[in-house]
A and B are shown apart, each in its own frame.
Chain A
Amino acid sequence: MTASQSPRQRVVDLAFLDARSKLIDLAAFLDRVDRHPGSEDYRVAALKSALVELSGNEPDRARRVLEALSDPTEEPAPRAETQGATGAWRPPETCSPS
């Protein structure tokens, strides 16, 4: 970091390689999933949907990605089917019959 650096340049210098690495990891993850036959997992579908938030120039991308992966319903659930969370909301119509 130098005194003449602009703040914008400074944040790019600090974090670009980390961001680049994470982007390639994400691409490799999607390739890895696709090397195996089968239908699309709801979590991977949610990840791909959220990716569109990165391509524009609007601010608050992190907030919009988090919202895209969130349960959009508002009423309390009647009961807990599980104690854990998976990282993406599963729309009811894609649940497999049990």
Chain B
Amino acid sequence: MTEEIDKALARKYEAGFVSAIESETFPPGLDEEVIRKISAMKNEPQWMLDWRLKAFAAWQEMETPDWAHLNFPVINYQDISYYSAPKSMADKPKSLDEVDPELLRTYEKLGIPLIEQQMLAGIAVDAVFDSVSVVTTFRDKLEEAGVIFCPISEAVHKYPELVKKYLGSVVPQKDNYFAALNCAVFTDGSFVYIPKGVRCPMELSTYFRINEQNTGQFERTLIVADEGSYVSYLEGCTAPQRDENQLHAAVVELVAMDNAEIKYSTVQNWYPGDEEGRGGIYNFVTKRGICHTNAKISWTQVETGSAITWKYPSCVLKGDNSVGEFYSVALTRGKQQADTGTKMIHLGKNTRSTIISKGISAGRSNNAYRGLVRMNPGADKARNFTQCDSLLIGDQCGAHTFPYVESRNPSAIVEHEATTSKVSDDQLFLCQQRGLDPEKAVSMIVNGFCKEVFKELPMEFAVEAGKLLEISLEGSVG
């Protein structure tokens, strides 16, 4: 039976093509000069350059974290190119009509048409290609509502006060090794500001694509939801199929002011490498949000890609009555390794957090949940509920759970539960006896296992996530 499941799991990576786009790419290497050059390319003000250099100095003093349940060779940061942009972007296109058609075709192939007329109504997209943002759609419509949605490189110029105030306010420059590196070399990403009391009229979405060889992608996202506002943000990512590993070290910062709500959803589908573990993206990501009074941040992630995933979207529940949520599906196969989870830091009274994590391990992969729930002395009557479930498919993979629970408040309640199970022969037999083929059966069982998380995704993404899992489980049984 296991063999059939394995076959069912053999997946093709549909986003693995390379686009023939002429790019301007820095030669590999990292030093202060490179950072000055990145800053110069973006025509940045002095304060931004100083900020980068400070982070770089800190990074050089830091060491790669080694506590995760991950195994990978030492990364040589001098072998990576830190900037790559399509040539056609040299003099910024003013509108969609000026954008290189090959670029538009690339996104279309990925299922993300950037021509507004063809788009799913209700979703505005910022498309980041290698190191730069190529298009942001629906900007006029958003501006009407007072919502700012633009590449962060542009925000540095247009909204320097907002950027200065919030950049690094949630994830400080020295937070961790990869965050520090990102601070030094980040090239682009999205900036969102929702003014007081505004309910963002459409879903915002950024689509990241790595195309060039030997480049790293270091994007930076900053979302500020002012008092009483609401925004739902979606993030997707893909990369071509290549034999060498590529580095992706992103930072996402969320600020939810009093009574604001941010919903952040990710479908991560970076190239995972082949069956033998050749190639694939090393995905080291720092995501964190801060919740002020009565605010809510909800992270939902579906992680199917990357050779290595190191990612802990977190919430600092600073304000009283604030709410943090983390819903995650992580699927690993082949030789993929994932070490992912969340941190819920309860500082305010009556703060609440929910963690639902579903790990699916197949092939020779390793899938770990790592989480921290901390109840600080001020977190009176705070509550946490955590449920971590692992599903093992085959006897060559690993499923691991490392939850840290720290409580210093007698009125706080923390509940953590974890289980492991497998797709049992009984379940498969039942499905087959009712006429389903094993491939469909496995996909159904896995989908059922993930249901609690999928229902948290915005509709379009839920469909995409379901499809992604299905593709992952595709390959058909002979």
Are these two chains actual partners, yes or no?
no
